[in-house]
Amino acid sequence: MLAAAIFAFALMALDARFTQVDFIRQSLSYLVSPVQSLIRLPSDMVEWSSRTFAERDELLEENRSLRSQLLVLQQKAQQLAVFQAENQRLRQLLDATPRFDASFLTAEMISVDPDPFTQQVIINRGAQDGVFVGQAVLDATGLFGQVIQVNSLSSRVLLVADANHAVPVQINRNGMRSIVVGTGDLSTLEMEYVPDTADVRIGDLLITSGLAGRFPEGYPVAEVIAIERDRGEPFARIRARPLAQLSRSRNLLLVFERGDE
């Protein structure tokens, strides 16, 4: 230890008096540098590991935050698609009846009658909205049915395809009048009491005739899809396809003619 101290003091004296010692110092620094690096290694490892784990935690937290934001954005995107579809259906409803002198009230289907022998639905409009029994109900493409029961906040609608439903109609092409009745099948209606010689063609458009005062005149009801004529029968059997989307429509219109309360 004494020898090392004497040698150190000698080097300091030489360093203070002679510049050649700088070269010796620089040369020795190459030998000391690895030792210094080895000494700093533990502290460097601790610092690196702490920084690495801190960055990992930050990345994990950022990842969780981004996932949450992604879920929110996806949910909003789904709502946007629903709103766009609903807006399109409402536009179709408004565009479906531009030429009639009547006012309309939008309604939405809230449930379907589970009875397999009836074709009825429940809508979210009732007496407080002015709905009345017998009121015509439309969708974007045609006559949907009529109101048969009114509650304060909801109403029951009988579809045109129900077996107990009948609509006075006329053929748009020639004005011939008839009656269309439901069959219980949402895709099929039948024309009753049509003479075998009547001028009816496949593809004819059937519209409400306005007779009996139940349905306003001029609303599309169905399209003729099949005609069967038997020589021994006085009436032809004519089937028609309802134009309203009975199994898919959810947004509906209630028709108020001038003079209705």
Which of 39, 63, 96 corresponds to the end of one domain? 96
Report pLDDT for 258.
59
Report pLDDT for 24.
67
High-pLDDT (> 70) share of the chain, %: 80
Q: C-alpha distances in angstroms, 84 versus 88, 95, 144, 225?
A: 6, 16, 23, 33
* Rounded Cα gap, residues 184 and 163, in angstroms: 5
Report pLDDT for 160.
96
Confidence of residue 95 (pLDDT cuts 50, 70, 90): low
Which of 96, 126, 160 corresponds to the end of one domain? 96
pLDDT, tens digit, for every residue of 22-34?
666 666 666 666 7
How many domains in the chain? 2
Report pLDDT for 25.
62
Nearest 5°: phi and psi at 222?
Answer: -160, 175
Residue 75 shares a structural domain with residue 177: no
Question: Domain containing 197: what range?
Answer: 105-257
Residue 128 shares a structural domain with residue 27: no
Residue 141 shares a structural domain with residue 204: yes
Measured on CA atoms in the order 156, 161, 165, 166, is the torsion positive or negative?
positive
Asked whether the whole model's pTM tops 0.75, one would answer: no
Which of 35, 62, 96 corresponds to the end of one domain? 96
Mean pLDDT, residues 192-215 = 90
